[in-house]
Structure 1
Amino acid sequence: MDTLLQFEQGVIEAERAFDPTIKPHPAKYYDLELMITVPHIHLVVAEFDGAPIGCGYARIQDSKLFLTPPQHSYLGFMYVLPEYRGNGVNNIIIQALKDWSAQKGITELQLEVYYHNDAAIKAYEKAGFSRSLIQMRMEL
């Protein structure tokens, strides 16, 4: 659990560069205990020589009413320790989440990535994802 909490902070720190509205440290993204216990979420931890080096999860959720398929797997908590990036770890994690999703009858994966996070976009496109929507917001 301590490692997962460190990975969560790694995700948050990486995303702070793209989103000034993320709360100051310690921010929290995930209910990790819930993620480990519920049947509609599959959490994967990648290891090297027995040490955790990355993670990701797939969460089955309903699609918007006007979309097909009716459900999809949303991927999140995608993190690889900096010293292991560029070695295919992210692809191994995504493949495990794809396999689990397919076993559950899910036919589509979705994820969100910050618009200016070029490295992440490139990694996801390399894994087979294509760009879809751009979320926009405005401060008042």
Structure 2
Amino acid sequence: MSHIRQAIHEDLPTLLAFEQQIIATERPMDPTLIQDQPISYYPLEEYLDAKDTQVLVAENHDGQVVGSLYGQIRPRKPFFQTSHLGYIGFMYVKPEHRGKGLAEALIDNIRNWFNHQGISEIILHVYASNERAIKAYEKIGFVHHLVEMRLDQTAKGST
């Protein structure tokens, strides 16, 4: 059985390690990422104190942090029906703890937080080639909504 709680500053070293695991997984999926030097996706320390962001961790029965997720309230452009939406990022579960419902528990908890903030729509981004993650998100109820396309003008055959 796992426990979901809000992340604290003492969790930061673990969270930063999780971020590097996410980056290592995603680098082969994205040729636009810097490949030969360290990068960071998230200002995690800032997120821990931000009013519009909730960082959650999953702990195993021993109190070890084994998963993470953040939810963030983001403004929308004025032509949408709602002024803000929820954004989910930083989903990570240690490999040995996958398949145990931790991702779903983290998302359920962040959904509750969004509901309490009056947020009714939640989005996330996932690489099209990350089939395992897509299946996990679909299982929870996410649906494909928008396709981002890319043209590499430096690629062979481009004019």
TM-score by length of 2: 0.85
Query: Higher mean Cα deviation, 5-14 or 60-69?
Result: 60-69
Which residue in the other structure is 1:42 paired with?
54
Is 1:21 matched up with 2:16? no
1:112 aligns with 2:125: yes
Aligned to 1:97: 110
Q: Aligned partners of 1:11, 1:82: CA distance in 2, in Å?
A: 11
Which residue matches 1:135? Answer: 148
**Equivalent residues, number:** 140
Counterparts of 1:23 and 1:47 in 2: how far apart (Å)? 32
SS state at 1:53 partner: strand
Shift of 1:117: 0.8
Structure 1's consecutive aligned runs of 4 or more residues displaced over 3 angstroms after TM superposition are none
1:33 aligned residue (24, 45, 49): 45
Report the Cα offset of residue 63 of structure 1: 1.9
CA offset at residue 105 of structure 1?
0.5
Unaligned runs of 5+ in 1: none
Match of 2:156 in 1: none
What residue number does 2:7 align with? none
Equivalent position of 1:75 in the other structure: 88
1 CA distance for matches of 2:142 and 2:97? 21
1:34-63 C-alpha deviation (Å, 9 max, x unpaired):
100110000001010200000000000012
* Partner residue, 2:78: 65
Shift of 1:17: 2.3
Give the distance between the partners of 1:66 and 1:14, measured in 2 at CA. Answer: 35
Q: CA deviation at 1:86?
A: 1.0
Shift of 1:65: 2.6
SS of 1:17's partner is helix
In the other structure, the counterpart of 1:8 is 19
Q: CA RMSD in A?
A: 1.0
